[in-house]
Amino acid sequence: MGFARAWPLLLTAGGIWGLSPALAKLGLGLGVAPLGIGFWVALGSGGLLLALTRLRGERLHLDAARLRYYLAAGVTGSTLANLTAYHALQHVPAGFFALLVPLSAVITVLGAALLGLERLSARSLGGTALGLSGVALAMAPGAALPDAALLGWALLAALTPVCYAASNLVAARMAPAGAAPLPVAAGTLLAAAGPTLVAGLLLGQTHLPFAAGWRAEALLLGLAALGALAYVAYFRLIGAAGPVVTSQIGYIVTLAGLFWGWLLFGERPGLLTLPAAALVFTGLWLVGRRGR
């Protein structure tokens, strides 16, 4: 699949993942607890992907190796990521958060080198430095963060791409060979729902159905359905177009996140947001040029 034919899938997955922080922020504003969002979205998206897996005639394998992988990837990429993301989104702009998401690819490369999974080239090191510089600039006064008093919440939000990167590294070390992607995605999300519920109970952040009104429930259903659709588009894309084309999703996630933050919340990032985004994009491009 060429780059031109990949655009619909890129826009679908990237657009959804760029919209999701803004929708989660709306849910928080409606009174849904942060981990309540995480639990119901993981359970709903995982359930929809499991149903699609069955329709395709594929199996969700539950042997010990896969269960360990589902749990490890789910806790890092969903439970912990949601813990940091949804708490931070109560305070930081959705557009600022969208600037952080592509950083997960950069951190993954750095983590893979530290774990000895691959060599850290000068190109990758430069991309990592530029990506981190872009995020630091985004936190400066006059950029995507409107108030210096929010710096602590911004740093908490910055842990989210670290969690995504940890999930990527878990996949590199633990993912069963030859496993079909959709059953793996379903298993990972469903496995994440349990720890997210436990964390919500411990922190008093569970969400009972209809406790926040029908708008909140409709929003949670929409987030779950969109999440499942994004996974389907993502795996279709990476299977047909390869990882280099798929890595372009990061650009779309950021641009979509900035757009939805402006449209839904009237967020107006400062002028420094443009050079910050340029640094993040350049870092992502350098890492993506590795072609792996």
Quote helix, strand, coil % in the chain, to nearest 5. Answer: 75, 0, 25
Q: CA dihedral in degrees (155, 227, 188, 8; nearest 10)?
A: -100
Q: What is the pLDDT of residue 103?
A: 86
Cα Rg, the chain, nearest whole Å: 18
Q: What is the pLDDT of residue 290?
A: 54
Q: What is the pLDDT of residue 292?
A: 45
- Residue 168 in tokens: 């990527």
| pLDDT under 70: residue ranges of the chain | 1-4, 241-247, 288-292
Alpha helices in 30-61 (DSSP H): 34-55
Helices (H) and strands (E) in the chain, counts: 13, 0
8 A C-beta contact, residue 195 and residue 202: no
CB atoms within 10 A of CB 149: 9
Q: What is the pLDDT of residue 104?
A: 87
Residue with tokens 């499991």: 50
Distance between CA atoms of 248 and 170, rounded to whole angstroms?
22
